[in-house]
Every structure is written in structure tokens, then in C-alpha cells.
Amino acid sequence: MSENVTLTAAEVEAKLLKGPFHQWLGLKVVSVGDGEIELKATWRPEWVVNAERGYVHGGILATLIDLTADWALVSKTGRGVPTVDLRVDYHRAAMEGDLTAKGKVVKFGGTLSVAEAQVLDGDGRLLASGRGVYMTAAPK
């Protein structure tokens, strides 16, 4: 495992977008810092769970929490890491529009690490927040 890997936002985005699901989410890496990341997810009508009310399925928000917290660790590991545990809190319904997700490392460890994330709407309102535990031990 390496620590404090220096990758540009473009390099992180190239790694992140190797995953077809991440491509489908329309992810863009806005910024990467020491233990921090900001992502943008481009709106897709397929995110809507209730056509009458037009709000986004909670699974999309949970996904954004998980992957943003996960990829906040990229400045320490140089790679995405497996999720061990995840908690998500929903604060308001997400409606049509791009979403911003911000993540940061809470504690970096040799085997397990903790990171948290928030998902915001286009007006900067908090939609969901969460915290995850991730396996940061070097792969064998």
C-alpha cells in the first residue's frame, strides 16, 4: 500500500471510469486533494423511482455516498478500495438535476479506513450523507 499518492483529477477520473456503472452514472471528477474528492453525477431520467413525484431512487444516492467516500481514499491508496460497511442518511428527496458528491477521509489505516461523503443538489442542499469503512490493505 502506498500513502499520499499524487494523482491529478484527470488521472483519478480515468481510473474511476474504467467501471461501466460509473460511466453510466455520468461521473466527472471535479477535484482531488489530500484525502478529499468532489464528483459530479450527470442527471439521468432512469434515476427516477416515482414518475408521479419525480424523485430519485435512494439507491442512486447511496451509491454516490459509497463511491465518493471510497474514492476519497484514492489520494492515499492510488486505487478504489472494497467497502466493508456503509451507513447512509437521507435528508431530502433528490429531484431532477445533476448531483454533486463530496467525500473526505476520516481515518486512514493500514488495513481498514473510514471515509464520509455528502450528496448535494444543484442549489447546494444536502440530500444524503454517510460514512463507510473500507479495506485499504494492499491487494495480494
For residues 22 and 13, the answer to whether their CB atoms sit within 8 Å is no
Sorting pLDDT into bands at 50, 70 and 90, what band is 139? confident
Ordered domains of the chain (ranges, CATH): 9-135 (3.10.129.10)
Percent of the chain having pLDDT more than 70?
A: 98
Whole-number pLDDT of residue 2: 47
For the entire predicted model, the pTM comes to 0.93
Q: In degrees, to the nearest 5, what angle opens at C-alpha 8 toward C-alphas 139 and 64?
A: 65
What is the average pLDDT across 98-124?
97
**What is the Cα–Cα distance from 21 to 2, expressed in whole angstroms?**
26
96 has pLDDT over 70: yes
Distances (CA, A) of 18 to 23, 51, 56, 100, 125: 8, 31, 25, 20, 30
**What is the Cα–Cα distance from 103 to 110, expressed in whole angstroms?**
19
Whole-number pLDDT of residue 1: 42
